[in-house]
Amino acid sequence: MAIKRRADASGDTPSAVAGKPARRGRRTEILRTAAAVIASSGTRASIQGIADAAGLSPGSLYHHFDSKEAILVELMRDYHSDLERIAIEARSSLEQPGSSTVADRVFELGAAIAKCALEHRAAVQMSLFQAPTAYPELNELVQRKAIAVEEAMLQTLVAGRWSGYIRSDVSLGPLADRLCQTMLHAGLEHLGDGTQPEEVARLLCTILTIGLAAHPATDEVWDRSAALAAAAETIATWSEQPIADPDDKAARIREAAREQFGLKGYEVTTIRDIAAAAGLATGTVYQLIGPKEELLATIMRSFAEMVGEGWQAVLRSDSSPVEKLDALGWININALQQFPDEFRIQLAWLRQTPPANINPGWLFVNRLDDMKVLLEEGIRIGDIRIDSPSTELLARCVIDVQWIPENILRDAGRRGALIHARDTVLRGVAAR
């Protein structure tokens, strides 16, 4: 099904021509309003809700857009257009000799991507959680990767290698991908303290390029740490979880909900979606599990307990702060591989819900406190080196960059992902 864009008729009268700027302005206002509504409530937002927020009747809104999907298409087009512009500007700056260092150019590009994500928050959310629709163009736009900015980032990193800034043993492709994904997600963070995306982008770029470890060790040394051994011992218990009985309807519901939440995001998924995926009646879901909130809590409880136990085992180990950061990264890599749906649910929650709210399982506030204590100790004893506006912001950024993107884990494998995490978060990719 194609989405039709309303075109002004040819042969307009002077009065009709004079009215075009006003109509274009109203159309832009509707798009801006729709973006704000979707950013706050997800793609479940209705035409009625968008019209109400814009001060229009649904009929008046349909005069500008044929459907909600037409609005979503326009939002995605604008988002990709801005990414293309950012990529062109970044490539152009590489061709112009100047005083900017490679580090500055990496930050400038990263900050531009983060700012773009903030301005197009609704589009970024759709690219993460929009389920397939009957509209091919919308599906294509939602699934389109940020290839242009990734290529621009790769060219910037190549220039950095030529100049001697980037280490020769670091794979630049995954690094460019990681930087771009991290910056896009940075635009979705709910920091709640007025922190600007440029500030977050600079800190994230600093962590990934300079690294946190004041005295980086080899892989062989970190492989022998007590913290990594504690993490491995906890991870080994995850495979001992009982296998659900296929005839257990409650287990079928939980499995279907886990898949739907991971695919669409918690906010958009309905009990009807879950019931259909489980092959059961909606009433059966309510009878066996209860409301959606309880279903989410049930799914995330065991995941949270397993990951939380891993964190506590690592933090109790007789290891340095950097070794503990390394082991926490290993916990996250294995959690992502073994529980991808729960991981997606958790990331969606962290990026769509203010952190002050109760978390569905991972207990973000507790983990944030743990990370702040760990970083403060590392900085105090000289194990960690970093300049940050606050420990709070640093802890949030470290938690964020410890989560390796799924495609990098899939391509590199667990061991390769661990080396990548060490090369970025701990050692840094910049030559020392």
What is the per-residue pLDDT for 130? 63
Q: Which residue in 9, 52, 5, 8 sits closest to 30, CA to CA?
A: 52
Q: What is the pLDDT of residues 329-388, one digit of tens each?
A: 999 999 989 888 777 777 665 544 433 444 554 567 788 899 999 999 999 999 999 988
C-alpha span between 86 and 123 (Å, rounded): 16
Q: Which of 55-69, 131-145, 290-304 has the lowest mean pLDDT?
A: 290-304
Closest CA to 119 of 53, 24, 197, 30: 197
Q: What is the pLDDT of residue 212?
A: 96
Phi-psi region of 176 (alpha: psi -120 to 50; beta: other; left: phi over 0): alpha
CA dist list (Å): 420 to 234, 242, 385, 411: 22, 32, 19, 12
Tokens of 61: 């809104």
What does the pLDDT read at residue 22?
56
Mean pLDDT of 25-30: 85
DSSP designation for 107? H
* Residue 255 CB neighbours (<10 A): 18
Mean pLDDT of 222-243: 88
> Which 3 state secondary structure label does DSSP give 430?
strand
Helix runs in 120-195, H state only: 121-129, 136-143, 147-162, 172-186
Torsion from C-alpha of 181, 183, 185, 190, nearest 10 degrees: 170
The per-residue pLDDT for 415 is 96
And the tokens for 331?
A: 């916990």
Helix pair 249-264, 292-316: axis angle to 10 deg:
80
Mean pLDDT in the chain? 83
> What pLDDT shows up at residue 280?
87
**Is the pLDDT score of 411 beyond 90?**
yes
| Residue 272: Cβ-neighbour burial (10 angstroms; 0-12, 13-18, 19+) | exposed
The larger pLDDT score, comparing residue 63 to residue 345, is at 63
Q: What pLDDT score was predicted for residue 5? A: 42
The top-scoring range by mean pLDDT among 38-42, 260-264, 282-286 is: 282-286
Q: What does the radius of gyration of the chain's CA atoms come to, in whole angstroms?
A: 24
C-alpha span between 73 and 6 (Å, rounded): 13
Crossing angle for the helix pair 364-380 and 292-316, to the nearest 10 degrees: 20
The residues that bridge with 213 in the sheet, in sequence order, are: 384
d(CA 377, CA 183): 27
Task: Tell me how far apart the terminal alpha carbons of the chain are, to the nearest angstrom.
Answer: 55
Residue 291: what pLDDT? 78
Q: What percent of the chain has pLDDT over 70?
A: 82
pTM summary value = 0.81
pLDDT of 234 reads 95
Cα dihedral sign, 77-173-91-394: positive
Question: DSSP assignment, residue 73?
Answer: H
Angle between helices 292-316 and 321-338 (to 10 degrees): 150
- Give the helix ranges, DSSP H, for 187-291: 197-210, 219-223, 226-238, 249-264, 271-278, 282-288
Q: Show the CA angle centred on residue 328, arms to residues 302 and 319, nearest 5°.
A: 125
Higher model confidence: residue 85 or residue 355? 85
Helix (H, G, I), strand (E, B) or coil at 5: coil
The least confident of 97-101, 148-152, 257-261, 317-321 is 97-101
Q: Higher confidence at residue 132 or residue 229?
A: 229
**Taking 90 as the threshold, does the pLDDT of residue 271 lie above it?**
no
Q: What domains are defined for the chain?
A: 78-210 (1.10.357.10), 219-426 (1.10.357.10)
List C-alpha distances in Å: 375 to 186, 304, 322.
Answer: 20, 22, 9
Residue spans of beta strands (DSSP E) within 207-357: none
**What average pLDDT does range 35-42 have in this prediction?**
78
At what angle are helices 271-278 and 292-316 packed, to 10 degrees? 80
